[in-house]
Amino acid sequence: MLAFAYFSHHIEGAIHFMAPLTILFFINVGIFLWILIKKNYDSIMMDVLKQLGILIFMYGVFGTLVGFLQMFDALEAMNETLPLAVISGGVKVALLNVLYGAGYFCLSHSGYIILRMLSKNKVVA
């Protein structure tokens, strides 16, 4: 049930924005695991992990802005007054990109913080 909602949100939030967000997040998880397994906390990959998380968030914001522009273009082209439910549905769909981007960023940055703590304490995981 949860997986169905997850994938339906990908379709609603424009697959050409949601799919790259998810792919970038899984690449980020792979980098996190690589650093954790190799115990190479001072490598350039730490910076890549952090910057990729920021890119994920910014791509979500970009997707939301594009969604808002498309929504307002469609609303401007209509001549009749629309009910609030139609407008709020468009806003919900437009905000899915930034929601997923922010969620992925939080998870990504949490991994970065964990790795930084491990590097400072020299704890072997």
In which domain, by residue range, is 84 found? 2-121
| pLDDT exceeds 60 at position 26 | yes
Segment 49-73, tens digit of pLDDT? 999 999 999 998 998 888 888 888 8
Q: How far lies 123's CA from each of 44, 56, 114, 115, in Å? A: 19, 29, 11, 10
For residues 13 and 40, the model is more confident at 40
For residues 2 and 94, the model is more confident at 94
Confidence grade of residue 12 (pLDDT, cut at 50, 70, 90): low
Q: Are 111 and 32 in contact (CB under 8 A)?
A: yes
What pLDDT does 30 receive? 94
In 3D space, the residue among 35, 110, 98 whose CA is nearest the CA of residue 66 turns out to be 98
What pLDDT does 111 receive? 92
In 3D space, the residue among 22, 17, 20 whose CA is nearest the CA of residue 6 turns out to be 22
What pLDDT does 106 receive? 94
| pLDDT exceeds 60 at position 2 | no
The answer to whether the pTM exceeds 0.75 is yes
Segment 70-115, tens digit of pLDDT? 888 877 777 777 777 777 777 887 788 888 899 999 999 999 999 9
Per the structure, the count of domains in the chain is 1
